[in-house]
Amino acid sequence: MARPPVEKANKRKYMLEKLSGRVFLFCALLSVISLLLIIGFVFFKGINPFVAEGYSFINFLFGDDWVPSEDQFGIFPMIVASIYATIGALIIGVPIGLFTAIFLAEIAPKKVAKIISPAVQLLAGIPSVLYGVFGLAVIVPFLQNNLGLAKGQSLIAVILVLAIMMLPTVVTVSETAIRAVPKSYREGSLALGVSHIGTIFRVVVPAAKSGILTAVVLGMGRAIGETMAVILVAGNSLIVPTSLTDSVRPLTTNIALEMGYAAGVHQEMLFATGIVLFSFILILNFVLAKISAKGGN
């Protein structure tokens, strides 16, 4: 008995429905697969020297000397450089960025904010290499001449470039958070006789706290992960920095500088450097997740 054509068409339709759902699921799972591949490959390569070839992970983390030709792989100076550079950039970039965001959201006339906010957003999209070019062309010679350094490429140059680079991110994200604070908060505070500025700092900013912290963490992520701009201004010396004017080599820089010619254990050690960097970022992401979960409540 032949089936009526309508039923046949319907059957095909249902098949298609079912199939498409599966295809969509697969596409969504691709991001999970990518993440697993990235973690898998980078960790597999990076852990190998410690598991299979008997290198000590403690010596790797806390060793002072990185001399691949003599089989010495210590990244302590780079860890210190990365942490100093990131903290330094935060100390300069966050207050300026936050205050700019407060200004744009609360003080600036609407017309002014309408021009400046998109301009700042635009600057968040400028390739980071250009910040490095600016750093090398302007900041480095400036430091060299005014601080009497033999070489302007230094920790302080890295800090300044990273601080400038994180500014647009910090401003944009905190401004959004501050604008999201309900108007009634401000009105309530003003009605109680608190001044405009007092309202901003005692009511609005605390209410926007979680968004502002997100801005800080995002800026921090950008600073600790930045590579090419940093190479241009860091000087790349392999010493534990003791002063702001020392030439430094952060973790990211080490990977980019040596990946081109590294082979064997040397290359695996660069992946291990990547794992250390990755761990910093994972901790940051974890903190960020905690913050946004808190903000949700």
Residues numbered 253 to 292 that lie near other proteins (CB under 8 A) are 255-256, 259, 270-271, 274, 277-278, 281-282, 284-285, 288-289
Residues β-bridged to residue 66 = 73
Query: 76 Cβ partners below 8 Å, 6+ apart?
Result: 61, 62, 63, 64, 240
Shortest separation between residue 10's beta carbon and other proteins, angstroms: 10
Q: Residue 277, class by beta-carbon neighbours within 10 Å (0-12 exposed, 13-18 middle, 19+ buried)?
A: buried
The CB-of-81 to other proteins minimum distance in angstroms stands at 15
Q: Check if the beta carbon of residue 67 is closer than 8 Å to that of residue 265.
A: no
Pick the piece of the chain touching other proteins (CB under 8 A) from 54-62, 144-152, 184-192, 228-236.
Answer: 228-236
**Binding segment for other proteins among 1-9, 81-89, 94-102, 179-187 (CB under 8 A)?**
94-102
Q: Which is nearer to other proteins, 58 or 263 (CB)?
A: 263
Give the three-state DSSP class for 148: coil
What's the min distance (Å) between Cβ of 297 and other proteins? 17
Q: Considering beta carbons, is residue 1 or 261 the nearer one to other proteins? A: 261
Report whether 233 contacts 140 (CB < 8 A): yes
Binding of other proteins by 129 (CB under 8 A): yes
Structural contact between residues 295 and 212, judged by C-beta atoms closer than 8 angstroms: no
User: Could you tell me which residues are beta bridge partners of residue 235?
Assistant: 248
Could you identify the residue written with the tokens 């300044």?
160
**Number of other CB atoms surrounding residue 124 within 10 Å:** 16
Question: Closest CB to other proteins among 97 and 241?
Answer: 97
* Least Å from the CB of residue 242 to other proteins: 26
Give the nearer residue to other proteins in terms of CB position, either 1 or 10: 10
Q: Which residues pair with 61 in a beta bridge?
A: none
User: What minimum distance in Å lies between the beta carbon of 34 and other proteins?
Assistant: 5
Residue 47 touches other proteins, criterion: CB under 8 A: no
Q: Is-contact 203 189, C-beta < 8 A?
A: yes
- Show contacts with other proteins in window 54-93 (CB under 8 A): none
Query: CA angle, corner 165, sides to 160 and 168, nearest 5?
Result: 130
Structure-token match 């901003």, residue found: 200
User: Buried (b) or exposed (e) across 151-175, using 16+ Cβ within 10 A?
Assistant: ebbbbbbbbbbbbbbbbbbbbbbbb
Binding residue for other proteins, selected from 8, 11, 24, 294, defined by CB under 8 A: 24
At its nearest, how many Å lie between other proteins and the CB of residue 58? Answer: 23
> Would you say 52 or 242 has its CB closer to other proteins?
52
x-marked contacts with other proteins along 137-176 as a string, rule CB under 8 A: xx-------------------------x--xx--x-----
Q: Does 121 bind other proteins (CB under 8 A)?
A: yes
Question: Which stretch, 48-56, 70-78, 146-154, 195-203, contacts other proteins (CB under 8 A)?
Answer: 195-203
